[in-house]
């Protein structure tokens, strides 16, 4: 009887573990999403104080089309540069973006994916001098050849403050 009870418990625990580890397919990189972003983009925008900003972006499929590699380079006098990988986490099925930049080092963003022609990538980090800071990038399709990217921050994850925005056109 002990062996049967142990076997039953083992099977229940193993099944629960395997279920938790089974890939979730909540989101996929759809052809529409990939075809829209892949390519080179140029954009102009501004900071909240009206100061102008311009940048170039490049999106490419990589790693057997499992990820999108995204490079962001601000034009002078601004200095922000970033390399990101966008894709779907195999275990959670959640859209994720890993960003490595010349200001923060690296951040992991999460998203519900491309919905209603919009992608919102959100993260939060703790800074010793500032405390908890929420950040998000919003990518919103305007036309078949343009989108608006907005960067915002928040102390509570509810009320957001504009960092900057740019409107990009496909080259």
pLDDT score of 27: 58
148 within a domain of the structure (yes/no): yes
pLDDT at res. 91: 87
Q: What is the CATH number of the domain that holds 70?
A: 2.40.128.20
Q: pTM to 2 decimals? A: 0.82
Q: How many domains does the chain have?
A: 1
Q: What is the pLDDT along the chain (171 residues), one digit of tens a residue?
A: 554 443 333 333 333 333 334 444 455 788 899 999 999 999 999 999 999 999 999 999 999 889 999 999 999 999 999 999 999 998 888 999 999 999 878 999 999 999 999 999 999 999 888 899 999 999 999 999 999 999 999 999 999 999 999 999 999
Query: CA–CA separation, 164 vs 133, rounded Å?
Result: 16
Tell me, yes or no, whether 10 lies in a domain: no
pLDDT of residue 30: 86
**Does 2 map to a domain?**
no
**In a domain? residue 16:** no
Does residue 18 fall inside a structural domain?
A: no
Is residue 150 situated within a structural domain? yes
**Where in the sequence is the domain holding 61, given as residue range(s)?**
25-170
Is 12 among the domain residues? no
Q: Write down the H helix ranges in the chain.
A: 2-21, 31-37
């Amino acid at each position: 009887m002990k062996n049967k009870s142990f076997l039953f418990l083992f099977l229940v625990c193993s099944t629960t573990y395997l279920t938790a580890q089974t890939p979730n397919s909540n989101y996929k990189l759809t052809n529409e999403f990939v075809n829209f972003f892949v390519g080179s983009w140029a954009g102009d925008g501004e900071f909240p104080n009206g100061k102008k900003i311009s940048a170039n972006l490049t999106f490419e499929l990589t790693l057997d089309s499992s990820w999108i590699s995204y490079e962001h380079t601000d034009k002078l006098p601004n200095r922000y540069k970033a390399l990101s990988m966008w894709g779907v986490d195999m275990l959670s099925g959640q859209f994720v973006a890993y960003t490595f930049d010349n200001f923060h080092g690296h951040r992991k963003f999460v998203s519900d994916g491309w919905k209603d022609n919009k992608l919102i990538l959100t993260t939060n980090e703790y800074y010793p001098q500032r405390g908890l800071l929420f950040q998000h990038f919003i990518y919103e399709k305007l036309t078949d050849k343009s989108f608006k990217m907005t960067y915002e921050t928040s102390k509570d994850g509810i009320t957001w403050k504009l960092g900057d925005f740019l409107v990009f056109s496909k080259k």
